[in-house]
Structure 1
Amino acid sequence: MSSSQRPESLRAGLRRRDGTALGVVAVTVLALALRLFELGDRVAHWDEARVGYWILRYQENGFWEYSAGIHGPFFGIVNRVLFELFGASDFVARLPVAVVTGLLPLAAWLYRDHLRDSEMVAFGLLFAVNPILLYYSRFMRNDVLLAAFALFALGFFLRAHATGRPRYLYAGTASLALAFTTKENVLLYLLSWLGAAVLLLDHRLFLARNEEREWTGVLADALADLGRSLASWAPHLLVALVEFFAIVVYFYAPRRPGPGTGIVDAVTDPTLWPAVVGEATLGSWNEFTNTWLGSQGHPYLPYFEHYVTVLEQGALPLVAFAVVGFVAARYVDERPRDLVSFAFYWGAVGVLGYPLATDIKAPWATVHAVAPLAIPAAVGAGLLYRWGREAYEHDDSSATLAAGVVVLVVAWQIAVPMVGAVYVHPQDDTMIPPLGEQTDNHIVQFGQPADGIGPTLEKMQAVARTNEGTDVLYYGHVNENGDYIFYVRDEGDNDRIPAASGWYNRLPLPWYTELADAEVESTMDQQDLEGDLPPVVITRSSKRDLVSARLEGYRAYDEELTLWGSETTVFIEKRALREARSDSA
């Protein structure tokens, strides 16, 4: 190549990379827009409501410590600040997830040493529009946050290896530490990474046989390279280790009012730091192991079937592209592509392992397979793009038409569940796709209140804000299993995790009553339904007639606190509602 040709080739390559960077940024803007649009419209899921309630109580009483029952402390620490700055609401509660995952397509640029230009754009686009990732990116849960931080961490670490620049190591360490603050199954991520790395080493040993090299020599060379790399990075690794534990301790350290071993006390009394660090590390580890380690005690196949069903509805094109991308990268390219194989193994472990690891049939568990599979899926999608482009450039009308048909089919398979589950039916157990028949909505989890409850919650909050004294009275009972429903002996028991057992049946109502600063009481005594009652009375619909007979001037609203099977009646005093409306007018 002549000297005049080289600069022209370089300029063309830079223009192509600039175009790719702009494409990644455009996809990121799309991802953020899809996540922020009507973010606060869906009524809070049970999980969102209980965590949100305890964050509000944390604002009030200053008490917060790690509890494995609600996973990592990320939301408690971050959302408390956001609530203080912007006020508490469904929108603000979900904002960290929406923003972090909306920025996730930018992670594609970190993988530029391992993905082609078209694959990087496809990578970002798959994250932006995949129905499962999108739905749970608009949700105050840790799962997509964990996946996002892990993918950022992996990308930063790969850049550190490729460039030798320590700043990428520190950025990756911060991302990994934040992943540890989200959910305990970050440990499963690390195990998956270790297993995938072992399989990549097996790639090397297999190729060595084909190249007539001794596998023992290849293994020795790999270990020697690893040792040299660790030695050269040793000072930065030590700093990164300190950085990691600083972030983890900050998030996991207990917050407690008054004298004690909280992190605030340790700032003014350095002698408390050993106790604070111990609670944040060993104490949190003991809490985690006592809660989650061990068999979940359920049959595997029904959970696996549910997992696959959710993937089929919300990620079928992505999974299909992942298989194509993995096969192409492994068998069509000259050598297997490490990142593609690594991510495919990581995702495949998720498909097989999470049905065993999860304690309930939860659609959000599929996030931990979908997210890593997006990398080989981007390779598969990029292959389709290049095939179609080459067919168009060579005037091959048949191949161009075929590629176009495949793109339309894939777009339809993504758009239908995305629009249906995320925007049109985010609180329904069924959805009606365009030009289709009603189908089960597998992406929405059972703890989501059924559609239609929103106006009743607004009325309840409006009345509570204008009333003096007790605002809400729950009439509870004991069910056939001996469990308390709605009734709590002392409402103060709900201020910390865990709450009284009868409180959980109220979800998501406590989040909304707390937002309205409502004073709440409960009873199981029918005599308490006599006389001057609060403007809002809530009971299970099975007790509707009993309660209604003792109320005068109330209107009943029948709602479902979950998708089904939690029929609840909210009685709101008509006079109080009129006064609340006149005050707001």
Structure 2
Amino acid sequence: MTSDDGVGASAPTNAVSRSESETATPEPLLAGARTLYAVLSVTALALLARVVGLGARIMHWDEGRVGYWALRYHENGEFFYRPIIHGPFIPVVNDWVFTLVGVSDFSARLVVAVVGGLFPLAAWLFREHLDDTEVVGLALVLAANPLLVYYSRFMRNDVLVAVFSVFALGFVVRAVDTGRLRYLYFAAVSMGLAFTTKGNAILYIACYLGAAVLVFDHRLVELAARGDSVGSYLRSRPAWAKRRLTSRWNTFEYGAGVLAVNVVGALLVFLAIVAFFYAPRPELGQALGNPAALPGVLDEATVGAAESFYDSWGSGDHQDHPYLPFFYGLSETLVYGAGLTLVFAVVGLAVDGYGSRSAQVDGGGDGGGRGRRGRRWLVAFGLYWGVASLVGYPIATDIEAPWAAVHVVVPLAFPASVGIAYLYRETRASVVARDTVSVGLAAIVVVAALSGVVGANAAYIDSTSQEDKEVLQWAQPDNDLKATMQTVGRIAETNEGVDVLFYGSYHPTTDETLLYVENEESLERMPPGGPAWHSRLPLPWYLERVDANVTSTEPSENGTELQNPPPVVVAYEWEADNLREQLPGYTEHRHLFRLWSDEVVVFVDESAIPEE
């Protein structure tokens, strides 16, 4: 791949006046196959960073909810789409993972970690529009941004939908760049998987279309500023498209229908993937043996799923919140969790838009082409997409959660890659010129980036640290609770009768019913038997794994008197004094149940713990 960005024979573009010998740009470190090897190496490190210690943190409230229903599906084979827990990808795929490697916190998060770890490979798809160093820079952002690292180690769909959507975009770009129609099918598979993870896949499509329109408008503005005829340019587009199709796809040589057939084929692949994942279970398996039932199952998997999604999210009830606090929270998360990415993005936009880079009139490969100054379409595309996400997600989200920042970091990674490449080139030039100040500043930036990744992983283990509250969602229990639940699991494996009692109570300020479920058998299938069940999360995930016998007491204004309590009793901290008197001899384990508020108390009869 050739480059016109100062990497190669041309001199670097900077404002510092140096002698010709000092400013001669070093030979590119990464070129051709070495760029691919670098991207593969970054990907390997990204996978390692996401998999090591993956099961160390106790499940988050949201992980516990999705994990519980995934586990129930794994056990009874029953599943149907419920928009509130997002798409069916995790339950369906984790069913296979649980079968292969068993059920654990590690295995529950494994698919998200692997997909997130493979994210840097997407950079290779854009190699015709970024130079070699920028491709590696993009891979580095996707591998090492602290938010992407943290939420790739979290059983949630945000990283999944981002990865699949970006791969889909990359495959479409490769189809245009190479004229190979097979990339359309790869794009269809990727986008189909994105739609099986989370409903905001449709926002990615909207952002892509909107950014493409703005990029095209930007092109027209540039033409008008140069004094060229915009009308002539627009009239020339059909002929240009025909030439491009002829040279790239040989469409007119083999017939215009070839492209149309492949586009339709790709759409059918997309629909097949969506239908497979959204089809209710076990009805899908039954329909495969009874073709007469298949149309009804497919209707439920497509039209029915779309209606369910609209009924849940399209009504606007989930978006009924003030805008500014959500916007502030998202911005704060970006500053704390992606500060360097933001800085590199600003630098990249400045370098790409106002530097000496030239680009073809019609766009093209070799890092952006030649012939005019101006920002490359991919860099502008990332900017428009990122700004739209920053402005739009405070409206689209139902709760103020830092994982929404993932969808802003990803588009800004494209201009950030240009900034990283610029830092790399300037640092190499400074080394040649023995400019120790510049080298030292670059070293500080690199150390800051590495410390951000290390900090994200440290926060992953110590998830109740107040220092990282800007990037952690509040419904995260204290990690010490995990050891207590392991003890409870050992008791449940040998105890006869009821193993765990949830002590139902009323919240002291909201009067909300907590922990009590009238019919525990209702928890065998979705939806759960009452909203109070959610106040137990993530404990049901751990109890279901060991097949614990669980019950609960109905809340009482004056407290509930226990008769023959089981070996484990779980209650909120405001009930601890009352229970302590009723549970003599029980050991009391106190844990933060949410990041900064609720505290849960687990009373354990030590005599019921089996000897190891």
- Using the size of structure 1 for normalisation, the TM-score is 0.90
Q: 1:481 to 1:201 in 2, by over 3 A?
A: same
* Structure 1 residue 226, shift from structure 2 partner: 5.7
Gaps of at least 5 residues in structure 1 are 1-8, 257-261, 432-438
Deviations 1:149-206 (A, max 9, x none): 1111111111111111122111111011101111111111111111100011112212
Is residue 506 of structure 1 aligned with residue 536 of structure 2?
yes
Per the alignment, in what secondary structure is the counterpart of residue 16 of structure 1? coil
* Structure 1 residue 367, shift from structure 2 partner: 0.1
Is residue 120 of structure 1 aligned with residue 135 of structure 2?
yes
| 1:239 counterpart (265, 276, 279) | 265
* Structure 1 residue 51, shift from structure 2 partner: 0.8
Aligned position for 1:310: 333
| 1:570 counterpart (591, 602, 605) | 602
Is residue 409 of structure 1 aligned with residue 409 of structure 2?
no
Separation of aligned partners in 1, 2:410 and 2:178: 25
Whether the 8 Å CA contact 1:421–1:444 is kept in 2: the answer is no
| 1:143 counterpart (133, 158, 177) | 158
Deviations 1:61-119 (A, max 9, x none): 22101111011110011001111111111100110111111111111111111111111
Aligned position for 2:310: 289
Whether the 8 Å CA contact 2:149–2:456 is kept in 1: the answer is no
Separation of aligned partners in 2, 1:323 and 1:366: 17
Aligned position for 1:259: none
Aligned position for 2:280: 254
| 2:520 counterpart (471, 482, 491) | 491
Deviations 1:369-408 (A, max 9, x none): 1011111101111011112222333x2x33xx34323323
Aligned position for 2:401: 362
Query: Which amino acid in structure 2 is aligned with residue 254 of structure 1?
Result: P
* Structure 1 residue 552, shift from structure 2 partner: 3.0
Whether the 8 Å CA contact 2:58–2:477 is kept in 1: the answer is yes
Whether the 8 Å CA contact 2:56–2:461 is kept in 1: the answer is no
Whether the 8 Å CA contact 1:28–1:103 is kept in 2: the answer is yes
Q: CA RMSD in A?
A: 2.2
Q: Which moved more, 1:227-236 or 1:325-334?
A: 227-236
Whether the 8 Å CA contact 1:427–1:449 is kept in 2: the answer is no
Gaps of at least 5 residues in structure 2 are 1-8, 10-26, 246-250, 360-374
Deviations 1:294-344 (A, max 9, x none): 441222111111111111111111011112212322232224211111112
| 2:358 counterpart (329, 334, 355) | 334
Separation of aligned partners in 2, 1:15 and 1:47: 42
Q: 1:353 to 1:54 in 2, by over 3 A?
A: same
Aligned position for 2:144: 129
| 1:458 counterpart (474, 481, 486) | 486
Aligned position for 2:593: 561
* Structure 1 residue 211, shift from structure 2 partner: 4.4
Aligned pairs for 1:322-471 (under 5 A) are 322-332=345-355, 333-335=357-359, 336-393=375-432, 395=433, 397-398=434-435, 401-424=436-459, 426-430=461-465, 439-471=467-499
Whether the 8 Å CA contact 1:152–1:175 is kept in 2: the answer is yes
Is residue 516 of structure 1 aligned with residue 549 of structure 2?
no
Is residue 175 of structure 1 aligned with residue 157 of structure 2?
no
Q: 1:58 to 1:202 in 2, by over 3 A?
A: same
* Structure 1 residue 535, shift from structure 2 partner: 1.2
Q: 1:24 to 1:525 in 2, by over 3 A?
A: closer
Aligned position for 1:277: 298
Separation of aligned partners in 2, 1:501 and 1:15: 56
Whether the 8 Å CA contact 1:28–1:106 is kept in 2: the answer is yes
Separation of aligned partners in 1, 2:386 and 2:175: 23
* Structure 1 residue 224, shift from structure 2 partner: 6.1
Paired residues, what number?
554
Q: 1:226 to 1:368 in 2, by over 3 A?
A: farther
| 1:31 counterpart (34, 43, 46) | 46
Per the alignment, in what secondary structure is the counterpart of residue 279 of structure 1? helix
- Using the size of structure 2 for normalisation, the TM-score is 0.86
